[in-house]
Structure 1
Amino acid sequence: MTDIEILYNGRCPICSAEIAAYRRQAEDADAPLRFIDLHQTDTADWGLTPEQATRRFHVRRDGKILSGFPAFLILWRELPRMRWLARLLDRPVLRQFAEFGYNRVAAPLLYWLHKRREARTG
């Protein structure tokens, strides 16, 4: 089975906490997931600038990179305790709401918080 690579922002406390929970579930389920902190890798290997990598959540499966809400669906489908959520939110109307929420609220808010943290820490 091919590993699914998860690219995340390890400097984001919210992202790190969420990834830690996913990592525990992946270990319990022996899921083929590999978690990669974008600050510990060359994002060019993903075809992304560091700025692009920071703005959204990314996964790579079979050489194909998915970003945003579709990336979460890929991740959740591999985790037994999250599969129900992937099935639920992959329905047409619910998926539209979830994508809107991620694209217009969650991703911009997390990016803004990241930039604010970086400005404070210099």
Structure 2
Amino acid sequence: MRSRLVVWYNTKCPVCDGGINWQRNRLVRAARAGAIEFRDINLEPAALARFGAGIEDVRRRLHAVDAEGRLFVGADCAIEAWLRTPGDAWLGRLTGLPIARQIARFVYDRFADVLYAWNRRKGHW
């Protein structure tokens, strides 16, 4: 069993909020069991200060912290969430393989950059 994961995201981004809500609906059992918790960085902007991450970092890429205090950012955060999601653990294991992880990080980071720029233009803060 994997440790509890707290995922920080930007609820003011319509794409991020929609994605997390979709994932949360898939995670009802995991969330009830306390495996994953989703938190809005806009309500607690200094929550990740101990890692040197601020609100703009989370607005750019998902961040998560597990019960051991490890920080996961971007694609690594998504992989950790999938590993804790019933029915999606296979996706986390597959995407977590060394070459797949590198590809996932590259794709995630490019998408995140485009989404962040779009959110800034649209004023989703």
Among 62, 80, 105, the residue aligned to 1:57: 62
Indicate if the aligned counterparts of 1:46 and 1:65 stay in contact, CA closer than 8 A: no
Distance 1:88 1:45 in 2: 30
Listed as ranges, the matches of 1:1-122 within 5 Å are: 3-29=4-30, 30-31=32-33, 32-41=35-44, 43-47=45-49, 48-62=53-67, 63-103=69-109, 105-118=110-123
TM-score (norm 2): 0.84
CA-to-aligned-CA distance 1:13-57 (integer Å, 9 cap, x gap): 11111101111122134452111111121x322112221221111
Residue segments in structure 2 that go unaligned for 5+ positions in a row: none
Percent identity of equivalent pairs: 29
CA-to-aligned-CA distance 1:89-121 (integer Å, 9 cap, x gap): 112221111111012x21101111110111xx7
Q: Matched residue of 1:28: which SS?
A: helix
Distance 2:57 2:85 in 1: 26
Distance 2:15 2:36 in 1: 20
The letter of the residue matching 1:10 is T
Residue segments in structure 1 that go unaligned for 5+ positions in a row: none
Q: Matched residue of 1:73: which SS?
A: helix
How many residues in Structure 1 have an aligned counterpart in Structure 2? 118
Alpha-carbon RMSD: 1.9
